[in-house]
Amino acid sequence: MEKIVQPLMQWFETHQRELPWRKDKEPYHVWVSEIMLQQTRIEAVKKYYTRFIQEIPDIESLSLISEDKLLKLWEGLGYYSRAKNLQKAARTIMQKYHGEFPRSYEEIMKLSGIGEYTAGAVASICFREKVTAVDGNVLRVMARVLGSRENVLLPQTKKEFTKQLAKILPQQAGIFNEAIMELGETVCLPNRSPLCGECPIAKYCVSCRDGLTSEIPVRIKSLKRKKEEKTVLILYCDGKIAIEKRLSEGLLSGMYQFPNRDGFDTPEQLKEKLHPLSISFLGKAKHTFTHIDWYMQGYLVTVREQCGDFLWVSPQELTEQYALPTAFQPFWKMCHSLPDSFIK
């Protein structure tokens, strides 16, 4: 393990990608990027990050922005609790740390939405603290280098790999942490053959030597996923669409959605309940959350009056002002594609 440190850091010096959050070591920039990169690939994050920083340039502005505007900026990234925790942490920084990002791993860990990896990344990259930062990319590199068949999804595996990394961590921990993450992102690839011919530490890698890269890392999911069926309704009346705000707790908390019902309703059932002017089947969609799969079918329903406790908004208002969860966006796109679409 000790032999991988220098080759890896030298490789990173010449092969690191130009990323917007690498232009400086500003803690706010690194923090926002790391939160965005949770569950999301780098290429997808770039445009969201740039727009986010333009609209919310610092911790103070993040602490003050309205939740609706914040979630609209986050729209498309998913896992919206990340954005809410960002704001909660920003308010803590303003109140407890006088607007200055805390400079130690232990203090950073106290902020909402920040775990060991993010705290380690910010502390090592921005403040040169000698701490590890172990994400999925690092776990994959470690498993392959060591030839480990331990399940990388288990907390004890991550804990053991973290201990081993801590033993070889150089003084320039931030550079090393970025280097091993970069290797996992661009060379030691997931779900397909890694680019061993381009890897600076291939000669120290057990999996490369023994031809085990397709078998390692081992990922065994023990969680049984819950399945839910839903009928999604695009209620339309006089140029307006009905939306509603979800509860302040639970899945997609505080976000706007199209009205929806548990189970699959037939057109006949919807006609009996809604007495619409017209009803059209839009199609089906599936959305995967961490522990739940939603199987959905959608209908465009033109109603006689703006009924119910809904917020009725124009298509332009919906697009520009309200954050629509990714789960519901396929049905909005289906409305766009209708031959006589009401969306201009």
Write the pLDDT tens digit of every residue in 142-188.
999 999 999 999 999 999 999 999 999 999 999 999 999 999 999 99
pLDDT at 8 over 90: yes
CA atoms of 73 and 320, how far apart (whole Å): 10
Please indicate whether residue 34 is annotated as part of the active site: yes
Mean pLDDT of the chain: 91
CA atoms of 179 and 115, how far apart (whole Å): 20
Q: For residue 132, what pLDDT band results from cuts at 50, 70 and 90?
A: very high
Per-residue pLDDT reduced to its tens digit, 247-288: 877 788 878 999 999 999 999 999 988 889 999 999 999 998
Do 121 and 136 form a contact (C-beta atoms < 8 A)? no
Burial degree of 259 (CB within 10 A; 0-12, 13-18, 19+)? middle
Question: What topology is assigned to 226-336 in CATH?
Answer: Nucleoside Triphosphate Pyrophosphohydrolase (3.90.79)
What per-residue confidence (pLDDT) applies to 38? Answer: 86
What per-residue confidence (pLDDT) applies to 49? Answer: 94
| Domain locations along the chain | 2-210, 226-336
**Of the listed 34, 150, 178, 182, which one is catalytic?**
34
Per-residue pLDDT reduced to its tens digit, 299-341: 999 998 887 789 999 989 998 888 888 899 999 989 887 766 6
Encode burial over 67-86: b for 16+ CB neighbours within 10 A, e otherwise: eeebbbbbbebbbbebbbeb
Question: Beta-carbon neighbour count of residue 158 at 10 Å?
Answer: 20
Question: What topology is assigned to 2-210 in CATH?
Answer: Endonuclease III; domain 1 (1.10.340)
What per-residue confidence (pLDDT) applies to 190? Answer: 87
Contacts (Cβ under 8 Å, ≥6 apart) of 265:
231, 273
pLDDT at 223 over 70: no
Is the bond preceding 217 in cis, omega lying within 30 degrees of 0? yes
* pLDDT above 90: percentage of residues in the chain: 72
What per-residue confidence (pLDDT) applies to 343? Answer: 64
Per-residue pLDDT reduced to its tens digit, 70-87: 999 998 888 888 999 999
